[in-house]
Structure 1
């Protein structure tokens, strides 16, 4: 079938139904009536000779053909949108737009304050929505344009998701001041004897630090699993449990608690944090501007951190009561 005989608006409806899983929500998203959406779906079914979506309860479940079509349709729609946007200049001083940035809550406190300050100064009509996206959905969201960019650790993503490293971070251990076994440093033997907190949005599964420990046949005791590092830092300040977390956020989250921030007692490499975006918006003026604001905000934050004195516990080596070596024999 030649493209001249196809109504391209049908694919916008197809993508909306697939994303929303509902004709009602698709109509709300596109600001169309439900009969209009249903009519478009009927034309799509006739075009592909396939139901595309089958109602199960209140949801519209996609058929195998629909699942095979969604990614190329999303790429094509996003490509058309970028082409149209590139045809008109993006003026941050006057353009009204909302940018959607995916990042973990651990990064919000470090990146959002300088980012929002920069955007407010140069783009008064630009809004930012910081959201959490399941990593399994990240590629599809970037390709569809429902997500403008993402910040995360190194992920195994396809080549059409572009990336640049924006900073490195280290792993630290958070301990309350006055801990009976730990004062100014911690070695591996002492670390393993303590009870631990694991902060994770997942219901089950180990943390990154547990993978490092498992390489040496070690398994720590997780007494508490919670969702957010800030809450975990408060629990640390009122208990003898230990929390292992990224160093930059540890320095922010513990300002009101006064906990010790100590080096992780295994020699693990610093981990990289990346900014991700899709190739189909690489040349988009609006997306390029937003990426530059994110990277400039990170540079500003790193500059601010470098001007602050290091915490004494970061400079010192282990002085805990146990003298076990940092690496097991």
Structure 2
């Protein structure tokens, strides 16, 4: 048999000599190494996940490189970055492994109480504020031996995070284009409200359309440029608000609003975390604005995975519970 030699050289690229490693030589565990590496981007963490040594993972990567005649992963500091070829292979390899896993799982029962599986959920900071406390409690209660990673996932990055297996699923209120490779579960809708400092004139006098248009607005935008649903509603009415600044997340909202007359829009899920100490008051906007749809996204071929079915049910139940609590809060505040 002709030998395949993978030459490690200095510099950003390596050269791979053409060889004769064929499909019959393939060990299925090599594909598992590839799949986990795409998630972890680390030889050390991949070894820990698979219960193998780092040298064994490095050896497997060498075999994968020979098989696909590509570097597949290149080191950038402490991160193993996938090459374009690796990204191209991901959906096919992940899909194949999912099919095999599903075939086996049909004859087994997924038990959250005993599983040691790792789950990764992508959340925006808005959904993290609303969901993480209850999600962590419920996850630990039902799956005490499993692990859960909460990964930041902004609207502009969510599809890539799903395609590249950086997350198993992602919760978003962003307008995400339809993708045949991504399954979408509609959970419900959030109403857009206006948030102001509780000591502001607006909080004391009420918010009219004239006051709204005259005020200085903060736009919460992950990319700093995207317009919001409020701007769409205003444009349809031939109006425009005065946006003086953008902020990238909800977490700093109380400190940004405090002592100002600024107005910003936020989903009504924020009602769950506001208290008197936040000094944030929410009021209804003086114009009709479309609600924000909340969706759970995951790869299509993972939608039938028993573990993912369990996780999506847990997230759906938490969302339903938060919606009921939110309705009670809104009734009490007459919003």
Paired residues in the alignment total 314
How has the CA–CA distance of structure 1 residues 138 and 113 changed in structure 2, closer, same or farther, with 3 Å as cutoff?
Answer: same
Shift of 1:260: 3.3
Distance 1:216 1:244 in 2: 18
Equivalent residue for 2:171, pick from 151, 157, 164: 151
In the TM superposition, what are the counterparts of 1:97-176 in structure 2 within 5 Å?
97-135=117-155, 138-139=158-159, 141-142=161-162, 146-153=166-173, 154-176=175-197
Within the alignment, does 1:96 sit opposite 2:107 as a pair? Answer: no
How has the CA–CA distance of structure 1 residues 162 and 125 changed in structure 2, closer, same or farther, with 3 Å as cutoff?
Answer: same
How has the CA–CA distance of structure 1 residues 219 and 251 changed in structure 2, closer, same or farther, with 3 Å as cutoff?
Answer: farther
Within the alignment, does 1:68 sit opposite 2:88 as a pair? Answer: yes
How has the CA–CA distance of structure 1 residues 236 and 23 changed in structure 2, closer, same or farther, with 3 Å as cutoff?
Answer: closer
Shift of 1:249: 0.9
Equivalent residue for 1:192, pick from 197, 201, 213: 213
2:273 corresponds to which residue?
252
In the TM superposition, what are the counterparts of 1:187-266 in structure 2 within 5 Å?
187-216=208-237, 218-250=239-271, 252-266=273-287
Shift of 1:155: 1.7
What's the CA shift string for 1:168-193, capped at 9, x where partnerless? Answer: 11111112345335645323332121
Is the Cα contact below 8 Å between 1:261 and 1:313 reproduced in 2? no
Deviates more, 1:17-26 or 1:203-212: 17-26
Distance 1:294 1:157 in 2: 21
Equivalent residue for 2:64, pick from 16, 22, 44: 44
Shift of 1:194: 1.1
CA RMSD of aligned residues (A): 3.5
2:322 corresponds to which residue?
301
How has the CA–CA distance of structure 1 residues 255 and 169 changed in structure 2, closer, same or farther, with 3 Å as cutoff?
Answer: farther
Deviates more, 1:65-74 or 1:117-126: 117-126
Is the Cα contact below 8 Å between 2:90 and 2:164 reproduced in 1? no
Q: Any gaps of 5 or more consecutive residues in structure 1?
A: 315-329
2:10 corresponds to which residue?
none
Normalising to structure 1: TM-score of the pair? 0.77
Is the Cα contact below 8 Å between 1:97 and 1:126 reproduced in 2? yes
Q: Any gaps of 5 or more consecutive residues in structure 2?
A: 1-20
Is the Cα contact below 8 Å between 2:194 and 2:264 reproduced in 1? yes
Distance 2:212 2:334 in 1: 15
Which protein has greater RCO, CA pairs closer than 8 Å, 6+ apart?
Answer: 1
Shift of 1:26: 5.5
Shift of 1:290: 1.7
Distance 1:248 1:58 in 2: 37
Distance 1:21 1:146 in 2: 9
